Structure 1
Amino acid sequence: MANTCNGSCACSCSASTSVETRSAGSEQTAAGSAQTIAIASGIGAPAAVTAAASAFAEAATTAAAVTAEPVLRYYIDGLDCADCAAKAEKILSQQAGVRWVRIDFGAGALTLSPIEPAFSLPAITSVVSSLGYRLRLPEGAGGPSAGQETGTMAGNEPLWRRVNLRAARPVLSGLGLALGLLLDQTAATTLSPLVYTFAIVAGGWPIARAAWTALKTLTLDMNVLMILAVAGAIAIQEWSEAAAVVFLFSLGAVLQASTLDKTRRSIRSLLSLTPAVATVSRNGVESTEAVERIIPGDVIIVRPGDRIPLDGRVLRGASSVNQAPVTGESTPVEKEPGDGVFAGTVNENGLLEIQVTRPASDSAVARIIRLVEEAQSRRAPSQQFVDRFAAVYTPAVIVLAALVAIVPPLFGAPWEEWFYRALELLVVSCPCALVISTPVAIVAAIGNGAKQGVLIKGGAHLEELGRINTIAFDKTGTLTVGRPAVARFVNVAPPDQHDDQALLSIAWRLERRSSHPLAAAIVRFAEERLPATAHAALSEPEDYAALPGAGVAGVIDGVRYALTSPGRSLIASALSENLLAQIDAWQRDGYTVSLLSDERRPLALFALSDACRPESSRALARLKAAGVNHIAMLTGDNSHTARRIAAELSVDEVRAELLPAEKAETVQALMRPERRVAMVGDGINDAPALAAAHLGVAMGGYGSDMAMETADVILASDTLEQLPFAIRLGRSALSIIRQNIIFALVVKAVALLLILPNWLNLWLAVLSDTGAALVVILNALRLLSLRPDKEPIHE
């Protein structure tokens, strides 16, 4: 259970956690970006690409500086209108000790930056309570864990505070309205105003309190407009109209709050994935401890059927782990010693001993929740348009209402009739449905995406997903399995210089520090053929250097060696015709060839192969079916291998033998006016290309800080299955946002047109507003039901 903050919560730890986590991630990004610039600048990259990399690094460095300030995050209960969120944000931003405040209406979340020591949590909580809302500290944010009660939550709260008065108010108001209408049909009409007054007070008290708060801040929100309409109706003795307005408005508020809460719970449900306690093994003794007390390096025991409480790496045991709650993968993943595991996943059938690698506050689930909440608070372009429109529309209609009330009576028209029409205009001037049309859809889509293993970092990126019609893929590890193997090895050194074992030891020493899949394949190949005791005796190479897009080089025993692609070798021009013919033959057979050489001659050839992912062909077919009309493959591999894989997967365009910066240049070349381009890679080696595209997508990114920072969309699992779903989710969200905006505008236009010929009354005006708001919310909720398509496409 989450906790209500009343000032006694230990919230300082939440702030420090946010600072450490966000700063560390941003500094990593800045460091990675600096490396990207070095790569881009050092190999003759075009100025545009280098500039893009520089801008990327500058943004990351700026982010590191900005996010160094402390940040606190809370939930707000009872926030059911966009105007209310804006008003609360304005009031809280004026409080002492607050640097800035951001309230996201869609997510029901508050984010603020405190200024110590002036910041006072009790003062903030008191202000929020005075506005009619309640502040809660999210679990997993450095605050109390599940089961720990603080402040006025749960058992410490008096009974009357726990009764759902919000739902009772429209019921009481509706009963009063019905009784008043019944009395109007009898002779007891003198009693009906008293009954209508009860209906107005029962349902209108929260509206009046919110309106008074708005007036104190010199803002006109929908509560003020509704109170003015009710007061005007009473002034002209339209008691039934006034009571109907209050009943419909309060009922609409309850229905909106209920449906919005369903949307907000879609992401908050992730909080329940991780257990509050874990079994820790220290010196052979097992004990149960709160996950917040467990630190990296501790060993935890997870029994079959239990959820894994913390991120870690398997030390002993083997099991199948259901990762669907976190990554969205449909089938369990086999885990053995050395494999990583995520908190919140389920251990199915074996006892696991896991060494913790991250604290609870920095687990994959905790980072997902933080990033999703940040993403939900970022305004999308369509939302910015709606806000600008509403800022003009509401004042304009209010001015029109004033003119309608004043001008016609000056020319002899009945003042009561035109005053009534002015009241209708006041009600119609509320842009509620329009204002919530976009944020509720964004919150629903981003929340559902996170539950399905697709992390979308903001409304702008969600809308961009909906527009993508061209996708560029990195080859190795994206379209292919990413675990190549050495299929052939040939010693081409002079017979009296190096035997096979000596060459393999040189290759092993050069490649063991590289993270590239080809390097890992050569290391595995060498380790299988070298004596087990030989590794410890081998020294590290001196003057080691990674050659971007080429390979590695280093000095061993005074000799400089390089292990690179043949075309980028130090001695490429000195290769014999026979050797070139051998290399060409292997490449035509689909192998990737690496050449080991010293400064004078070639020494050995490695032929490596990497199979396509089993789901790649199916995923690309689904992308085509979803409206992606152009698919490109970008690789640093040779053109023969690239064409073979492209043919197998029916890829539209192939660009081979590219350096990292040339991939970014190629992405820019794909970005024609009619194309919206996404780049899909691992988020680390492909950082320049991800930054250059309209949308960067990283695969298997939940385990990578760099991927979390650099990509716009992160696919949790290391497969392509989630990408078609992400595209469909973006398209559906964009479509629903457009539907909501058009529907809200049409309803307002129709209501305005019906007012002038006097075909609308007050309660219908309220119904059009609250009904439209409810319709757009329900329409947005359809995004929560969207699921990945696991069925194969039948051509």
Structure 2
Amino acid sequence: MKEYRIQGLSCANCAKELEQEIHKLEQGHTAKILYNSGKLKIDQAVDLQAVKKILASDGAALVQEASAVTGSTHLTEETGSDHTHEHGSEGGKWKLLLSLSTVIFLTLIIFESQLSSYVAIPGYILATAISGYATFVKGLKNLIRLKFNINTLMTIALVGAFSIGEWKEGTLVAILFGLNEYLEGLGMEKARRSMAALLDVAPKQATVLIGNQEQVVPVEQLQVADVVLVRAGEKIPSDGIVLSGTSSVNEAAITGESMPVDKVEGESVFGGSINNEGVLRVTITKAYEESSLSKILHLVEEAQETKTPTEQFINRFAQYYTPLIMVISAIVMLFPPLFFGGDWGTWLYQGLAVLIVGCPCALILSSPIAIVSGITVNARNGILIKGGVFLEQLGKIDTIAFDKTGTLTKGEPHVQQWQVYDAALFSVAAAIESTSSHPIAKAVMNEVQKHDVNHLEATQLKTIAGQGVTAIIHEQRYFVGNEALMTSLNIPSNIQQVMDHYKAQGWTLVIVADEQHILGLFGIADETREESKQVISNLHHVGIKQTVMLTGDHQMTAEKVAQQVGVSAVYAGLLPEQKVEKMKELAKKGKVAMIGDGINDAPALATADLGIAMGKGTDSAIETADIVLMQDHLGKLPAAVSISRNVNRIIKFNIVFSLALKAFALLLTIPGVLTLWIAILADMGATIFVTLVSLTVLIESKKEKEVQLQRAD
């Protein structure tokens, strides 16, 4: 498959019809026009000249190849720069033609009383031809093929207006429809350019080290184990590990976080992140097409083309809408004169106005610009939404279930509190726990290293499952573990009180003892993420009715974390299959999203109406969930919910507004006061208005980001 950019693609319905025409070509059945991104994906065997002719029939044209690598998601150099549709030469030509026809029209209006019909009529025809030529030609072709779309309706209206002598209004219809087409394309292009700016973060080339020689190669030629040189200000070409060098790296392209992350030898880096200073030598661990950034960009491009249930409904509705309008127009033209003695000229005029009002432009544009804008804004924030359907779903969620460990908490146990009863506590703990890789042992060691300890050697270490570890130090046996390991000890009441207090706090208890005495205690807790409490509060503020914690941890620990973060309900001690059952129960009461790490919680994520994974670029997270929080924290989740709800509100408003305005205009036919002026203004006004309203998703996001930066300063 090859991918090309299409210039002049401003109508979603026309794009669908063009795709159907291309399907009729030999080997063209797999072709796909991506209207939202202005691209064509097509088999290499298809005759490009035939494709160009089909596109030219609707005023569109192939610009140039966007990607020649099968299956690759990288964008070649021209992809980020070639956006001429409405902003380059094509846009300039349209503006010039519209300006010229408008000047001619206004001149004729101003000097109307001084001009004869032999001058005025050719002038109106000239102005109409300049601004409406493309529409007229496409409309005539459609009429010959009995294909009825927007261009067909407008052509019939123009011919009809001129045939009854409405030269002035017919010309205005042509000019305003041309302006409408231009502004419609301008709005869609704004959304496309916003998406293109996001996709342009992809690195284009890499400096590969071969011995002592440097060689610049395209990123798609990178192979695993290649060593690349990344200087200050350059993009890291693909995922890898720092071989040498120290620097801070901007990972905003992956995580949406603008704060730099320090990188040293041995640490992993993401392709597309920017090296701020210093020089890094990086060993490539993934070919570019397998890198985190490549997968993200690929999914973002796919996401903007998926159809939501609302869009699918609009498309189905539009198939019947245009023929229905033509039937209504015919009834308006024929019934009053035939059955009620109406004037043929008057009702022909009214019927033509109905045709113009009936153009479904505004209705078709009610959704795609808002959807593309919403996906783009969230992607910039490091929130990967895999399709418009999931964006729409996120806006409908009323319950969010959270896994505890690694989601609401950091998933890194640490010593919350400790108690010393013998000076040997830290030395004994260090000797025994230093040999273990268990997370709790690491937490104890992190605390022990803060204190002065004597170096002791532990021998005959023995792990007792579910209890702890025993070892011999200086010919004496010691124990490090929980209460079950200390059954032979007579624990004094004062120490038991401290132990009970630790457990009441929801902490995991680690006891260090010899065969007669307890040397000390450690209270281990999984530290709550700093942002969790504020995130839960913000989620409730943006309309989430219930927040639930699902965890396999014991009840007391879970309730402690729940109190700290403020979730509505907590269910503890759950096995994976029990989490699934709980998700099914919650789903009976409303729309439910589940947030987990994308691996351990995979069954619950799949069961939920919406699966959200904590990711930071991990392959498993990107592949398993409907939405991925690339920052690996919950901070941006409330904003994503808010954006999604806003997109849903905008789409509903656009649909209601466009239909209501058209219905109002059509009702004006009853008293016979609908004019071509009102009709075209109603159609154009609705289209421009829904486009501008949809673009507010981008504008509001930009303002919000500026406010956040000001707060950070």
More displaced stretch, 437-446 vs 163-172 = 163-172
Q: 1:620 aligns with which of 524, 532, 536?
A: 536
Distance 1:218 1:365 in 2: 47
Distance 1:198 1:168 in 2: 15
Shift of 1:271: 3.0
Paired residue for 1:462? 391
Higher Rg:
2
Q: CA deviation digits over 1:180-220, x for unaligned, max 9?
A: 32342214332111111111111112112332454466431
Paired residue for 1:730? 644
SS at match of 1:96: coil
Contact 1:236-1:416 within 8 A present in 2 as well: yes
Shift of 1:394: 2.4
Q: CA deviation digits over 1:290-334, x for unaligned, max 9?
A: 323222221222222333232222222222222224322132222
User: Does 2:584 correspond to 1:655?
Assistant: no
Q: 1:193 aligns with which of 102, 108, 121?
A: 121
Q: CA deviation digits over 1:700-730, x for unaligned, max 9?
A: 25x2222222211111111211101111111
Paired residue for 2:555? 639
Summarize the alignment of residues 316-715 of structure 1 with structure 2, pairs less than 5 Å apart: 316-411=244-339, 412-485=341-414, 508=437, 587-592=503-508, 608-673=524-589, 675-701=590-616, 703-715=617-629
Opposite residue 427 of structure 1, the aligned amino acid is I
Distance 1:524 1:676 in 2: 42
Change (3 A) 1:182 1:589: closer
Paired residue for 2:97? 169
Change (3 A) 1:612 1:143: closer
Contact 1:592-1:638 within 8 A present in 2 as well: no
Paired residue for 1:784? 698
Unaligned runs of 5+ in 2: 420-427, 469-480, 512-520
Q: 1:85 aligns with which of 7, 15, 20?
A: 15
User: When the two structures are superposed, what TM-score results if normalisation uses the length of structure 1?
Assistant: 0.75
Change (3 A) 1:660 1:760: same
Q: 2:665 aligns with which of 751, 756, 768?
A: 751
Paired residue for 2:422? none
Opposite residue 243 of structure 2, the aligned amino acid is L
Q: CA deviation digits over 1:475-526, x for unaligned, max 9?
A: 1111112222478999xxxxxxxx9899769854xx6xxxxx7798699999
SS at match of 1:97: coil
Change (3 A) 1:295 1:566: same
Contact 1:266-1:447 within 8 A present in 2 as well: yes
Distance 2:309 2:264 in 1: 46
Q: CA deviation digits over 1:397-449, x for unaligned, max 9?
A: 21111122222222432111111111011111111101110111111111111
Shift of 1:133: 1.4
Contact 2:436-2:442 within 8 A present in 1 as well: no
Paired residue for 2:687? 773
Change (3 A) 1:307 1:143: closer
SS at match of 1:79: coil
More displaced stretch, 174-183 vs 623-632 = 174-183
Opposite residue 138 of structure 1, the aligned amino acid is A
Opposite residue 594 of structure 2, the aligned amino acid is M
SS at match of 1:755: coil
Paired residue for 2:474? none
Shift of 1:163: 7.9
Contact 2:434-2:441 within 8 A present in 1 as well: no
Change (3 A) 1:709 1:240: same
Paired residue for 1:602? none
Shift of 1:591: 2.8
Q: 1:107 aligns with which of 37, 46, 58?
A: 37
Unaligned runs of 5+ in 1: 1-14, 16-71, 491-498, 512-516, 542-546, 553-564, 596-604
Paired residue for 1:303? 231
Paired residue for 2:242? 314
Summarize the alignment of residues 247-326 of structure 1 with structure 2, pairs less than 5 Å apart: 247-326=175-254
Q: CA RMSD in A?
A: 4.0
Shift of 1:287: 3.1
Q: CA deviation digits over 1:604-663, x for unaligned, max 9?
A: x99743211111122222112112232111111222221221111122211112112222
Change (3 A) 1:367 1:383: same
Paired residue for 1:18? none
Shift of 1:123: 3.8
Paired residue for 1:221? 149
Distance 1:518 1:124 in 2: 64
Distance 2:633 2:692 in 1: 32
Residues paired across the two proteins, number: 660
Paired residue for 2:55? 128
Distance 1:649 1:154 in 2: 47
Opposite residue 626 of structure 1, the aligned amino acid is V
Distance 1:162 1:380 in 2: 31
Shift of 1:741: 1.0
Distance 1:337 1:140 in 2: 35
Paired residue for 1:32? none
Q: 1:97 aligns with which of 16, 27, 30?
A: 27
Contact 1:397-1:425 within 8 A present in 2 as well: yes
